Amino acid sequence: MKKYASRIYLCLVFAILYIPILTLMLFSFNNTESTANFTGFSLEWYIKLFNDENAFIALRNTLILAVSSSLLSTIIGTAAAEGIYRMRSKWLKNAVNSVTNVPMMNPDIVTGVSFMLFFALLVALLGIDDYDSIGFGAMLIAHTTFCLPYVILSVLPRINELGESLTEAALDLGCTPVQAFFKVKLPNIMPGVLSGMVMAFTLSLDDFVISYFVSPSNFQTLPLLIYSMTKKTVKPDMYALSTIIIITVFTLLIISNIKSFKKSDKVRRKKGGKA
Amino acid sequence: MAKLIELKGISKSYDGEKVIDGMNLYIRDGEFITLLGPSGCGKTTTLRIIGGFETADEGSLYFDGVEISEVPAHKRHINTVFQKYALFPHLNVYENIAFPLRLKKKPEEEIKKRVTDMLKMVALSGFENKSVSTLSGGQQQRVAIARALISHPKVLLLDEPLGALDLKLRKDMQNELKTIQQAIGITFIYVTHDQEEALSMSDTIVVMADGEIQQIGTPTDIYNEPKNAFVADFIGESNIIDGVMLEDKRARFSGHTFDCVDGGFEKNEAVDVVVRPEDVDVVEPERGMLIGKVTSVTFKGVHYEIIVDIKGFKWMIQSTDYVAPEATIGLYIEPEAIHIMKKSKYSGKFGDYSSFSDELDQLSDADTAEEF
């Protein structure tokens, strides 16, 4: 009886989570604009979507921004994690650690508004007439900043776990400190670096609040476009777009899960073999 | 042999606590030297200072006559075999060993030849493409040694390299390390807390305690002529008794005057007397120089370990003959078996086997002192 109850509960949770998404996916294949009746299967909305220049530009912008900000935040974040690890003073270490976590704890809306003010001030100070001319740069800085703590959070435990012994071995064998980092440390913390990058990518991909405050008129991302369209009536081509985004995110998630599953499986087998 | 490494007045503290205190030591070219001591004695720190992973607070370090105190680790002609091997998990066996050569951008044929030769030397031919994580502890150890030796360092530092291996493998590796050292003829600086390991492998042993060198000497010197109570107790088993040197070659302890072979002490100087458990003969009580009561007997395989109470001091004796507990026996000690040491700060701290006995009521030191 208890077993059934827990199963029913689990199904209920999944139903609440996924029925809205599945409905959206279903209606993206509808052949009419109706949101109440599924009248027949068609790819009409997908075709329409791919012919919609605005959506395409927004998608392109989103991807450019996600790729560049995730790369940038991964580089800066990994360097920062290494720097935090190297700090001698425990007090300073904790302080820096907390400070880097602030953008993560901060409500997005606060981060967004503060970025807006910051860039407005910057534009005024530098005497730039047109905000659009630094628009992409502003978006890149904002996205990189809010992704940064997630990268640090993902890399720092790896560095701590790896410890100093491999680096010392590399130095002992003739590496300069820089070579030791790139030839020995980086390959061994790579899983953490990559998962930080994937996390940064997905965060940048679906950010709306911060982009809303920072975006210039000439650089619109998908979430912003979708939002602007919801002000009018939502057309099923947006369902199609959302379906594509969901499938992309799901695929990324599954890939990273399979990777970490394989890894833990390997570790378990090794431990079993030793025992 | 020339001095290859020299430490002059090296001191090092962590958080205000002195780990090494004014250490002076020189190491000759081609010798197998062991830093031996209990954990926390400063031996690993000394090794890390020589390797360049720590900087001394005071003093200087010379290599081949040149000061290298400030030279970073990667510029020293010294390589290390780390306690936990520190193999690179992202590289296979071949690439791990080839790592130092690749750094120097050696041609591919040379790398291949040298790695193959090195693998042969450590008996790992055919393991080239294995991942290091699939190797056993002993095999990982060999890879670490091969990797450290491939760029022909002048000195190899070994930080308790056999600590993680089981007893049988450890013995095999001890022989193998010694063979390798003799074959290539470079200096090995070996750190261990295992006295047996130190005795069987080293040319020279440096016994350390509390950040200071207690004694430097060959294994036989250290075992037969320990300088103080600490060394006598740490290397092998020892009965260390308070005694008085009546004159040269005459010592009095445990209420009996013994002939011995040591001299050079002042008349009636208080000394520590060392008698190794295997050097004491068990005889009939009437023939014994000392008479005592057996408090415990433990079978150890090759011999019995007998604890005897003589005037409140518990002696350990190793004998191949069985003696019944509670029996009264006589002890006979040859003059050569008695070693006399000057008093030191370690006097009275070691060499009494009271804790081995079931009897917990011990006579106070004052009582035994009167019995001389």
The residue extents of the domains of chain B are: 3-223, 237-369
pLDDT class of B367 with cuts at 50, 70, 90: very low
pTM of the full structure: 0.78
Residues A112 and A226 in one domain: yes
Phi then psi for residue B43, to 5 deg, are -70, -40
Q: What percentage of residues in chain B have a pLDDT greater than 70?
A: 95
Q: A45-49, A89-93, B187-191, B234-238: which has the highest mean pLDDT?
A: B187-191
Residue A38: per-residue pLDDT: 80
- As a whole number, mean pLDDT of residues B358-366 equals 39
Residues A110 and A19 in one domain: no
Checking if the pLDDT of B32 tops 90, the result is yes
B134 Cα to chain A: minimum distance (Å): 8
Residues A28 and A80 in one domain: no
CB distance B359 to B309 below 8 Å: yes
Strands B250-253 and B280-283: what pairing? Answer: unpaired
Residues A72 and A6 in one domain: no
Residues A140 and A251 in one domain: yes
Checking if the pLDDT of B248 tops 80, the result is yes
Is A91 inside any structural domain?
A: yes
| Higher-pLDDT residue of B95, A34 | B95
Is A124 inside any structural domain?
A: yes
B-chain residues within 8 Å CB-CB of A168? 53, 73, 80, 82, 86
pLDDT class of B363 with cuts at 50, 70, 90: very low
Residue B330 C-alpha from the chain's centroid = 33
Give the residue on A whose Cα is nearest the Cα of B89: A188
Residues A191 and A106 in one domain: yes
Q: What percentage of residues in chain B have a pLDDT greater than 90?
A: 49
- The overall average pLDDT reported for chain B is 88
Question: Is the CB of A174 less than 8 angstroms away from the CB of B147?
Answer: no
Cα–Cα distance measured from residue A172 to residue A176, given in angstroms and rounded to the nearest whole number: 9
Instruction: Report the range of poorest mean pLDDT among A53-62, A74-83, B81-90, B208-217.
Output: A53-62
Q: Of the candidates A174, A176, A180, which has its C-beta nearest B100's C-beta?
A: A174
Q: What is the CATH number of the domain that holds A248?
A: 1.10.3720.10
| Both structure tokens of B79 | 């390589």
A70 Cα to chain B: minimum distance (Å): 25
**Which of B48, B50, B92, B99 is the best substitution to test chain A (most A C-beta atoms within 10 A)?**
B99
pLDDT class of B357 with cuts at 50, 70, 90: very low
- The CATH number of the structural domain formed by B237-369 is 2.40.50.140
Question: Is the CB of A179 less than 8 angstroms away from the CB of B103?
Answer: yes
Cα–Cα distance measured from residue B274 to residue B316, given in angstroms and rounded to the nearest whole number: 12
Residue B275: per-residue pLDDT: 92
Tokens 């493409």, residue? B129
A78 Cα to chain B: minimum distance (Å): 19
Residue B167: per-residue pLDDT: 84
How many inter-chain contacts (A to B, CB under 8 Å) are there?
59
Checking if the pLDDT of B365 tops 50, the result is no
Is A273 inside any structural domain?
A: no
B-chain residues within 8 Å CB-CB of A174? 74, 100, 103-104, 151
Indicate the fold that domain B3-223 takes in CATH: Rossmann fold (3.40.50)
Residues A210 and A82 in one domain: yes
- Confirm whether B3-223 and B237-369 share one CATH topology: no
Question: Is the CB of B86 less than 8 angstroms away from the CB of A166?
Answer: yes
Is A272 inside any structural domain?
A: no
**What angle separates helix B93-103 from helix B137-149, to the nearest 10 degrees?**
20
Residues A78 and A189 in one domain: yes
For the question of an ipTM over 0.90, the answer is no
**Which of A165, A167, A173 is the best substitution to test chain B (most B C-beta atoms within 10 A)?**
A173
Instruction: Write out residues in chain A with pLDDT < 70, as ranges.
Output: 1, 234, 260-275
Residues A174 and A253 in one domain: yes
Residue A1: per-residue pLDDT: 67
Residues A126 and A252 in one domain: yes
Checking if the pLDDT of B370 tops 70, the result is no
> What secondary structure, in 3-state letters, does chain B show?
CCEEEEEEEEEEEECCEEEEEEEEEEEECCCEEEEECCCCCCHHHHHHHHHCCCCCCEEEEEECCEECCCCCHHHCCEEEECCCCCCCCCCEHHHHHHHHHHHCCCCHHHHHHHHHHHHHHCCCCCCCCCEHHHCCHHHHHHHHHHHHHCCCCCEEEEECCCCCCCHHHHHHHHHHHHHHHHHHCCEEEEEECCHHHHHHHCCEEEEEECCEEEEEECHHHHHHCCCCHHHHHHCCCCEEEEEEEEECCEEEECCEEEECCCCCCCCCEEEEEEECHHHEEEECHHHCCEEEEEEEEEECCCCEEEEEEECCEEEEEEECCCCCCCCEEEEEECHHHEEEEECCCCCCCCCCCHHHCCCCCCCCHHHHHCCC
Residues A124 and A82 in one domain: yes
The identity of residue A2, as a single letter, is K
Residues A112 and A76 in one domain: yes
| Higher-pLDDT residue of B261, B362 | B261
Residue A273: per-residue pLDDT: 41
Residue A54: per-residue pLDDT: 82
- As a whole number, mean pLDDT of residues B133-150 equals 91
**Which of A88, A162, A168, A172 is the best substitution to test chain B (most B C-beta atoms within 10 A)?**
A172
User: Measured in Å, how far apart are chain B's first and last C-alpha atoms?
Assistant: 47
If phi > 0 it is left, if psi is from -120 to 50 it is alpha, else beta; for residue B226 that is: beta
Structurally, how many domains does chain A consist of?
A: 2
Q: Of the candidates B79, B133, B134, which has its C-beta nearest A172's C-beta?
A: B79
* Domain around A137: 53-261
